[in-house]
């Protein structure tokens, strides 16, 4: 595999990897700590907070992944009944809305990360795990989500100019 091929593979699968790591970590922590609590009357003090913070990575990367797949916040049943030109205009409106919402989310999420970083906020139950590490999930995933919107928009414009059918519905399996 070439460097370019490796980069394309990583670019197409980064969300899947982060989702898998987050979900596996969450499930592993919860499973182990339930066993420890019921059989040994012990529990790590961070075992109820770290999975919640990992859920941030899981959900926001899931949003980015589903945006890439075109299965996030879609109204395909209505759009398929529109004319070809109106379907394209709907896709343009989608992109504008994503960028407007994304700018707002990233702006305020970066502020939250900075506040946590500046105040040395520690995850409850730990001595040295910083909250901002987990809060970085929001601006990072939304930045990736907006990259996915750009990729989709580029394909939509290309398809529209070439007269190819527009992608209005996500593939069931990938």
50 within some domain: yes
Specify the pLDDT at position 126. Answer: 92
Q: Where are the alpha helices (DSSP H) in 69-167?
A: 76-79, 84-118, 131-135, 137-162
The backbone region for 62, taken as left when phi is positive above 0, alpha when psi lies in -120 to 50, beta otherwise, is alpha
The CA distance from 73 to 75, in Å, is 7
**Along the chain (174 residues), what's the average pLDDT of each consecutive run of 10 residues?**
84 94 97 95 94 96 92 75 91 94 98 96 93 97 96 95 82 60
Specify the pLDDT at position 141. Answer: 97
Query: How many structural domains is the chain composed of?
Result: 1
Specify the pLDDT at position 2. Answer: 87
Point out which residues pair with 122 in neighbouring strands: 130
CA atoms within 13 A on the CB side of 26: 16
54 within some domain: yes
Domain of 27 in residue numbering reads as 3-162
Specify the pLDDT at position 78. Answer: 78
167 within some domain: no
Tokens of 129: 């795990």
Tokens of 139: 């601006």
Name the 3-class secondary structure at 55.
helix
Q: What is the pTM of this model?
A: 0.89
Helix axes 137-162, 84-118, angle to 10 degrees: 160
172 within some domain: no
Name the 3-class secondary structure at 5.
helix
168 within some domain: no
130 within some domain: yes
37 within some domain: yes
Point out which residues pair with 130 in neighbouring strands: 122
Taking only Cα atoms into account, the Rg of the chain, rounded to an integer number of angstroms, comes to 20
The CA distance from 15 to 168, in Å, is 22
């Amino acid at each position: 595999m070439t460097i370019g091929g490796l980069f394309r593979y990583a670019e197409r699968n980064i969300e899947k990897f982060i989702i898998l790591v987050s979900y596996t970590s969450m499930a592993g922590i919860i499973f182990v700590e339930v066993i420890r609590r019921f059989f040994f009357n012990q529990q790590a003090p961070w075992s109820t907070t770290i999975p919640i913070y990992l859920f941030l990575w899981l959900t926001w990367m899931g949003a980015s992944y589903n945006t890439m797949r075109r299965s996030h916040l879609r109204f395909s049943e209505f759009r398929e009944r529109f004319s070809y030109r109106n379907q394209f205009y709907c896709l343009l409106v989608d992109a504008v809305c994503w960028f407007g919402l994304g700018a707002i989310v990233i702006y305020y999420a970066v502020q939250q990360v900075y506040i946590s970083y500046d105040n040395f906020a520690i995850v409850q139950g730990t001595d040295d795990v910083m909250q901002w590490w987990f809060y970085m999930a929001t601006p990072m995933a939304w930045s990736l989500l907006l990259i996915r919107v750009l990729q989709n928009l580029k394909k939509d414009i290309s398809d529209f100019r070439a007269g190819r059918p527009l992608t209005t519905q996500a593939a069931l399996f990938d």
